[in-house]
Amino acid sequence: MEGKSLKFLRGLIDAISPSGCEEEAAKLWKDYVANFADKVEGDVHGNSIGIINPKGKPRVMLAGHIDEIGYMIKYIDKDGFLYFSTIGGIDTHIMPGERIWIKGKHGTVAGIIGRDPIHQLTKEAREKVEKIEDLFIDIGVKEKKEAEKLVSVGDPAVPAVSFEELKGDRVVGRAFDDKSGAFVVAETLRLLSKSNLEAAVYGVATVQEEVGLRGAKTSAFRVSPDIGIATDVTFTSDYPALKSETKRTKFGDIKIGKGPVIARGPNINPKVFDMLVETAKKEKIPYQVEAISKATGTDANVIQLTKEGVATGLVSIPNRYMHTPVELVSTEDFVNVSKLLAAFIRRLEKKTNFIPF
């Protein structure tokens, strides 16, 4: 991956942007996309839209959600301990012992989720999972008043981890779900910026996916696309806990570093699927296929149902350990997803028809 792209990716991942508080990441995204899009817009919901060839036909919407899962402060007790709920789905198993960054009114406040010492835990307590309402964040203050100078009820928070490079093309951090997708949408716009296109391209960094696909719903209404492709992350079955054949028979065989994952199922227009596969073959881009037999849990779900219906596709990035602070992905997969989406859009003609039969 090129230096500028990697720097942008690092910035996006490190920006604190749980659903409903995406402004820090959205600003970075808009500034980056403004370098090559014909137009960059924002809407009242917080979605950011980079546009290339706005008058073209067909109209294509690319969607990658820029929000991340996180925490929200619910209550501050008299001793200044903070109680919280989750924004999106987080496994309570991984919370005790986490370091936390809270986005307070005067800047980031560091804290930790405390846990009783193992010596003091009964056998039953060691085996049980804590309830979230019993967990608390300690920011090192002595009392409520002191805490309230820094933190307010409703402030968002995230695990205090940053983007880190591992071996080869592997990188780790929080929020690759789905700033990977928002990144890939921006990179696809960059790749297309000098192309001669028939299609109009609306690349959207959508908000609030993790709390119900909400930004894709409002932005798809505004863009009114003929074709909509969501880019998100997807599960892999290539690490010990899921390596057994039994797990693969349930979740499929998806590996990190093996290229874009093209989804197939009722949420996907069959012609869009076929064209994505043909494009990957023609361009010699490695790809994998995943079967999703119901509405996907991605922006593709609501995009398909916009107005009288949209020809929808879903191209995903394999992500190990999704919804943990150690989401692990391959930057080579990012490069290949952007290449595939750009090549797909270059092939679109005014007359391309996606009515399935």
Does residue 67 bind Zn ion (CB under 5 A)? no
**φ, ψ at 100 (rounded to 5°):** -130, 145
Q: Please classify residue 305 by burial: count the beta carbons closer than 10 Å to its beta carbon, then call 0-12 exposed, 13-18 middle and 19+ buried.
A: middle
Does residue 290 bind Zn ion (CB under 5 A)? no
Does residue 22 bind Zn ion (CB under 5 A)? no
Active site residue 209: yes
Smallest distance from Zn ion to CB 59, Å: 27
Smallest distance from Zn ion to CB 233, Å: 7
For the annotated binding site, the residues are 65, 177, 210, 232, 323
Does residue 187 bind Zn ion (CB under 5 A)? no
Does residue 98 bind Zn ion (CB under 5 A)? no
Shorter beta-carbon distance to Zn ion: residue 22 or 177: 177
Shorter beta-carbon distance to Zn ion: residue 155 or 177: 177
For the annotated binding site for Zn(2+), the residues are 65, 177, 210, 232, 323
Query: Which residue number is nearest to Zn ion in terms of Cβ?
Result: 177
Smallest distance from Zn ion to CB 177, Å: 4
Shorter beta-carbon distance to Zn ion: residue 14 or 177: 177
Smallest distance from Zn ion to CB 323, Å: 6
Does residue 177 bind Zn ion (CB under 5 A)? yes
DSSP string of 170-210, one letter each residue: EEEES-HHHHHHHHHHHHHHHHHTTS--SSEEEEEEE--GG
User: How many other β-carbons are positioned within 10 Å of the β-carbon of residue 302?
Assistant: 26
Shorter beta-carbon distance to Zn ion: residue 334 or 344: 334
Q: Which of 22, 98, 209, 290 is catalytic?
A: 209
Choose one: 126-134, 171-179, 191-199, 332-340; the region binding Zn ion (CB under 5 A).
171-179
Strand (E) or helix (H) holding 216: helix 214-223
Structural Rg of the chain based on CA atoms? 21
d(CA 276, CA 269): 11
**φ, ψ at 284 (rounded to 5°):** 55, 40
d(CA 210, CA 214): 8
Tokens of 5: 């792209």
Shorter beta-carbon distance to Zn ion: residue 36 or 235: 235
Does residue 327 bind Zn ion (CB under 5 A)? no
Closest CA to 163 of 152, 148, 176: 176
Active site residues: 209
Footprint on this chain of Zn ion (rule: CB under 5 A) = 177
